[in-house]
């Protein structure tokens, strides 16, 4: 289905009186935001008013298709707009097939997630991918059909409803920068249809591609060099930022905006509560730039946000914008549009900095870069995480670097997390790191990167304890930082790297499959065994979840402020607001470190202080000593 083939259009005038009044009220409130953003994008076109009317028709169709269950959810979310900021929120991300086999299999495992405390389940792409290589499912061949290996749209709807009964919001990916080359739009373009060629960036020769390439970077220089692919059947060059089989959509064409808006509402009406907007930074192309973070991207996001608020206000948008720190907060909205783009955004910078600090054993870089970032706008939140399905991208640490090539520090991190540094604890692999020493990122499961794999291989109890302390250290920060902490499948059990991908020809060249294992349900059955490694990791994780869940100071609207202390190995962060206060101290060193009374007083906290994680009270009779990789959450008592 597409806009070109839709047999009829539902208009607001077609709604019954009650629905018409509600739709009109929402349009009155949020329509001006949509109109302003869309005019900035398409206002120069003679047919702008026709397109604007069509966008509202798409919103009306989506509104009309909301079920009674989802309309009730809409009403609840209108009255509780901070639902995703509450401290009990806990995210979990997984590939559906690797977690449950099928969508129905995932549904049957929801009690496991509920027991863990999960309230937000992100399933990696479930829509139908292209056959063969598919970038882990992010090359979508059909947005309105589920991968047949996972089930059907009816199975998705049943899973979403079951999730709500467990208090879990279902999150789904929307790859909106590109489609697969086998998508019906791409197939029509390949066959010569000029309408669908207009859905993509197609060029008859290399003149314009070469001009763009002068300022473009390559995302995957080792495996997919260049940003354009020649398509022989149409004898044209197509923009392919990521892989040759992923064709970038042309949002300068209003039809593309309309198609994606319609698809958003189709998924929302199947019960998806959060859409992860993949690769949003790349959505607009402008000659002479790197074609990332362009102003028009933010117009697009504001328009999507406003129109989905009219049709389906329970739907939240999450930005997957892996960009430099100075650009990150903008995806939540800034200035007069603060809070008017995505509800949620991945705090990629925090994730990368935590791994950097762990390798260095020092917190200065972590503190300095976080202090330079603005706080998220009101009514928005971060997704804080340690691992995900993707690599740890080191270039974000070189944003201020003027010289060509990666810095020595980035090279060190790539080597450290690939196990190439003598005495290092990590076991992982480099991702997209070329012979010229260009560095993209690192792959690996949390436990392996934190030293547990090596410690178990060496049967070293002391090293095992230190590895578990590193895992606790990282989790204790993302659980306290602000936003929704996101667990990656298997990390709650201490699952290790999966090297089996190296024997699969479709995966062997992509080291990210190192951290995409099948869920180990046999190990999961041991999660309550305090004598097992899985039991120790699980208990530690559950304890942090419980400590966070009923702590008002960890609500998303309480500001987080990294502080400059007097010990370079200790990360200090204050959260202070009307809901309460917290002082976090985290030791990144492998040996004990002291936080001075002076530094704690400078943070505007007064003794006695109690650690929420252990219940231990500190009277202030001396400096506060933190053991190796230890963390405290301090409250005034």
525 catalytic residue (yes or no)? no
* CA count, 13 A, side-chain hemisphere, 605: 31
CB atoms within 10 A of CB 51: 17
- What one-character-per-residue DSSP string does 12-38 give? GGGS-HHHHHHHHHHHHHHHHHHHHHH
**Residue 90 DSSP one-character state:** -
Which of 135, 173, 320, 611 is catalytic? The answer is 320
Nearest to 252 by CA among 300, 181, 318, 191: 300
Distances (CA, A) of 279 to 177, 291, 513: 6, 12, 19
Contacts with 304 (C-beta within 8 Å, 6 or more apart), sequence order: 260, 261, 264, 317
Quick check: 592 and 626 in contact, CB under 8 A? yes
Which of 278, 360, 492, 611 is catalytic? The answer is 278
CB atoms within 10 A of CB 540: 18
Quick check: 605 and 576 in contact, CB under 8 A? no
Alpha-helical runs (H) found in 278-373: 295-311, 325-328, 348-360, 364-371
Contacts with 166 (C-beta within 8 Å, 6 or more apart), sequence order: 110, 111, 113, 114
Contacts with 629 (C-beta within 8 Å, 6 or more apart), sequence order: 466, 469, 470, 472, 473, 587, 588, 589, 590
Q: Is 257 helix (H, G, I), strand (E, B) or coil?
A: helix
Contacts with 225 (C-beta within 8 Å, 6 or more apart), sequence order: 218
Quick check: 230 and 237 in contact, CB under 8 A? yes
* CA count, 13 A, side-chain hemisphere, 633: 25
Quick check: 318 and 343 in contact, CB under 8 A? yes
213 catalytic residue (yes or no)? no
Where in the sequence numbering do the catalytic residues fall?
278, 320
């Amino acid at each position: 289905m597409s806009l070109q083939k839709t047999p009829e259009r539902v208009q607001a005038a077609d709604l019954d009186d009650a629905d018409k009044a509600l739709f009109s009220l929402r349009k009155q409130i949020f329509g001006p935001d949509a109109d302003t953003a869309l005019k900035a994008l398409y206002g120069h076109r003679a047919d702008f008013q026709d397109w604007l009317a069509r966008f509202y028709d798409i919103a009306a169709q989506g509104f009309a298709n909301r079920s009674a269950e989802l309309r009730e959810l809409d009403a609840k979310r209108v009255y509780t707009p901070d639902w995703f900021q509450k401290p009990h929120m806990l995210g979990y991300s997984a590939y559906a097939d690797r977690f449950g086999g099928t969508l129905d299999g995932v549904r049957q495992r929801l009690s496991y997630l509920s027991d863990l405390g999960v309230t937000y389940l992100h399933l990696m792409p479930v829509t139908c991918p292209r056959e063969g290589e598919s970038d882990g499912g992010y090359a979508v061949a059909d947005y309105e059909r589920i991968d047949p290996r996972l089930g059907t749209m009816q199975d998705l709807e049943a899973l979403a409803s079951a999730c709500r009964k467990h208090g879990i919001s279902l999150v789904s990916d929307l790859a909106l920068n590109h489609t697969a080359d086998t998508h019906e739009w791409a197939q029509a373009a390949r066959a010569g249809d000029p309408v669908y060629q207009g859905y993509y960036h197609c060029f008859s020769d290399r003149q314009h591609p070469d001009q763009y390439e002068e300022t473009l970077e390559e995302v995957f220089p080792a495996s997919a060099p260049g940003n354009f692919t020649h398509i022989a059947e149409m004898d044209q060059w197509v923009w392919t930022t990521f892989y040759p089989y992923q064709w970038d959509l042309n949002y300068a064409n209003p039809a593309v905006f309309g198609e994606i808006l319609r698809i958003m509402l189709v998924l929302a009406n199947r019960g998806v509560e959060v859409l992860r907007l993949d690769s949003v930074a790349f959505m607009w192309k402008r000659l002479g730039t790197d074609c990332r973070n362009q102003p028009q991207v933010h117009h697009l996001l504001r328009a999507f946000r406003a129109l989905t608020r009219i049709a389906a206000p329970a739907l939240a948008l999450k930005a997957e914008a892996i960009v430099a720190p100075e650009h990150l907060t903008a995806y939540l909205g800034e200035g007069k549009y603060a809070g008017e783009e995505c509800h949620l955004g991945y705090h990629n910078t925090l994730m990368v900095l935590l791994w950097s600090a762990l390798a260095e054993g020092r917190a200065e870089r972590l503190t300095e870069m976080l202090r330079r970032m603005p706080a998220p706008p009101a009514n928005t939140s971060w997704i804080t995480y340690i691992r995900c399905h993707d690599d740890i991208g080191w270039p974000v640490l070189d944003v201020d670097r003027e010289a060509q090539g990666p810095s020595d520090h980035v090279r060190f991190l790539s080597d450290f997390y690939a196990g190439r540094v003598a005495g290092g604890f990590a076991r992982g692999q480099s991702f997209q790191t070329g012979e010229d020493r260009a560095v993209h990122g690192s792959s690996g499961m949390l436990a392996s990167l934190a030293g547990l794999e090596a410690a178990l291989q060496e049967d070293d109890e002391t090293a095992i304890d230190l590895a578990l302390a590193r895992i606790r250290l990282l989790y204790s920060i993302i659980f306290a930082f602000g936003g929704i902490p996101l667990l990656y499948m298997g990390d709650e059990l201490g699952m290790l790297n999966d090297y089996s991908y190296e024997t699969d020809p479709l995966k062997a060249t992509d080291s990210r499959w190192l951290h995409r294992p099948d869920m180990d349900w046999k190990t999961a059955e041991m999660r309550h065994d305090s004598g097992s490694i899985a039991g120790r990791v699980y208990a530690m994780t559950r304890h942090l979840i419980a400590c966070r869940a009923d702590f008002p100071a960890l609500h998303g609207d309480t500001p987080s402020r990294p502080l400059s202390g007097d010990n370079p190995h200790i990360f200090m962060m204050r959260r202070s607001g009307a809901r309460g206060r917290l002082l976090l101290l985290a030791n990144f060193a492998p040996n004990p470190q002291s936080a001075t009374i002076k530094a704690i007083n400078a943070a505007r906290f007064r003794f006695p202080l109690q650690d929420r994680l252990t219940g231990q009270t500190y009277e202030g009779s001396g400096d506060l000593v933190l053991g190796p990789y230890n963390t405290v959450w301090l409250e005034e008592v």
